[in-house]
Amino acid sequence: MAQIIGAITTSHIPAIGGAIAKGRQNEPYWQPFFDAYGRVHEWLAKVRPDTAIIIYNDHGLNFFLDKMPTFAVGAAPEYRHADEGWGLPVSRAFAGNPELSWHLIESLVADEFDVTTCQEMLVDHAFTVPMSLLWPGVESWPVKTIPITINTVQHPLPSPKRCFALGQAIGRALDSYESDCKVVIIGTGGLSHQLDGTRAGFINKPFDLMCIEKLVNDPAALTHYAIPELVELAGSQGVELLNLLAARGALTGQVAKVHGNYHVPISNTATGLLVLENRPRAPASRAA
Ligand code: DHB
Ligand code: FE
């Protein structure tokens, strides 16, 4: 059976990949950000997932404005990165898990999520930067991967309610998967940021801190926002919160916060790190 060991929410800002490539982790600007990942590495070394489902938004590498699926699921044996123009080194390829991908797709479509299936898929910084943050300096990636993208780029965007429900459907799909595997769900992006327009540089710390708290214990509270409200509160790119909400939705057990960190800014953006452990629920007691 698939075991969902937990979820990690993390920033995916390209500048982080640049700092890793240049070995700047211990410089004063970067140290408080990178230091927060030590606890995540300890947790990963303890729980040892073999598959990572990465929920993120593609920023124009694999999908462009001409064809933009609301939700897409990778079903490839391997995913490659490519030069996106951020000046980052191109990551080595990531192994897929096509058997689990197809199970997810079957289950999601049966659950009325009409996802786009991708048997070829390039993965962008929102996938590669988190992988480098979570498993720094490894010779080969220790997990198989499944990319799941949510459109946070071209309006109309799916609602927070729909993205949370997608996550819950991913959780149900994993619970019904018969082969043994240990899955970590990684939601990337956010928190508040706006990269363009008159509000460029906008960050909303009180809103971010509220979101972090709700992601742990009351994610349904975040499902009531309409997209225009979310843009106003979190910034035009802060809607990447949708990825984190979907990741949280996939946790089907009892959720315990193992680690959290909020750090502003990196580049133009607020960063929110959470490690949420998914503990099995006690079996329902039988009626006498
Ligand atoms: C930045 C943030 C993002 O989410 C992104 O995809 C690219 C850049 C930034 O703050 O620089
Ligand atoms: Fe982004």
pLDDT in tens, 170-221: 999 999 999 999 999 999 999 999 999 999 999 999 999 999 999 999 999 9
Q: Kindly give the distance from the C-alpha atom of residue 12 to the centroid of ligand 1, in angstroms, as a whole number.
A: 7
Domains and CATH numbers, the chain: 2-102+118-153+170-189+236-255 (3.40.830.10)
Q: What pLDDT, in 10s, does the model give residues 147-166?
A: 999 999 999 999 999 999 99
Q: Which band of pLDDT confidence, cut at 50, 70 and 90, is reported for residue 283? A: confident
Q: What pLDDT, in 10s, does the model give residues 8-59?
A: 999 999 999 999 999 999 999 999 999 999 999 999 999 999 999 999 999 9
Q: For residue 1, what pLDDT is reported?
A: 84
Do the Cβ atoms of 9 and 274 come closer than 8 Å?
Answer: yes
Do the Cβ atoms of 71 and 113 come closer than 8 Å?
Answer: yes
**Choice among 81, 193, 224, 263 that is catalytic:** 193
Q: Kindly give the distance from the C-alpha atom of residue 268 to the centroid of ligand 1, in angstroms, as a whole number.
A: 7
Residue 288 in this model has a pLDDT that exceeds 50:
no
Q: How many CB atoms lie within 10 A of CB 197?
A: 9
What's the 3-state SS for the chain? CEEEEEEEEECCCHHHHHHHHCCCCCCCCCHHHHHCCHHHHHHHHHHCCCEEEEEECCCCCCCECCECCCEEEECCCEEECCCCCCCCCCCCCEEECHHHHHHHHHHHHHCCCCCEEECCCECCHHHHHHHHHHCCCCCCCCCEEEEEEECCCCCCCCCHHHHHHHHHHHHHHHHCCCCCEEEEEEEECCCCCCCCCCCCCCCCHHHHHHHHHHHHHCHHHHHHCCHHHHHHHHCCCHHHHHHHHHHHHCCCCEEEEEEEEEEEEECCEEEEEEEEEEECCCCCCCCC
**Choice among 59, 125, 155, 259 that is catalytic:** 125
Q: Kindly give the distance from the C-alpha atom of residue 270 to the centroid of ligand 2, in angstroms, as a whole number.
A: 11
Cα–Cα distance for residue pair 52/97, rounded to 1 Å:
9
Task: Show the tokens assigned to 242.
Answer: 């949708």
Which residue's alpha carbon is at the smallest distance from atom 4 of ligand 1? Answer: 13
Residue 268 in this model has a pLDDT that exceeds 70:
yes
* Mutate which of 11, 30, 84, 193 for ligand 1 pocket (most atoms within 8 A of beta carbon): 193
Whether 59 is a known active-site residue: answer no
Q: Kindly give the distance from the C-alpha atom of residue 99 to the centroid of ligand 2, in angstroms, as a whole number.
A: 29
More confident residue, 280 or 134: 134
Which ligand gives the minimal distance to the CA of 196? Answer: 1
Whether 103 is a known active-site residue: answer no
Q: How far is residue 286 from each of residues 176, 252, 254, 280, measured CA to CA in Å?
A: 22, 20, 19, 17
Q: Is the CB of 269 under 6 A from ligand 1?
A: yes
Q: For residue 287, what pLDDT is reported?
A: 52
* Closest atom of ligand 1 to CA, residue 12: 4
pTM of the full structure: 0.97
Cα–Cα distance for residue pair 96/150, rounded to 1 Å:
18
Q: For residue 282, what pLDDT is reported?
A: 79
Mean pLDDT of 74-100: 97
Q: What pLDDT, in 10s, does the model give residues 102-125?
A: 999 999 999 999 999 999 999 999
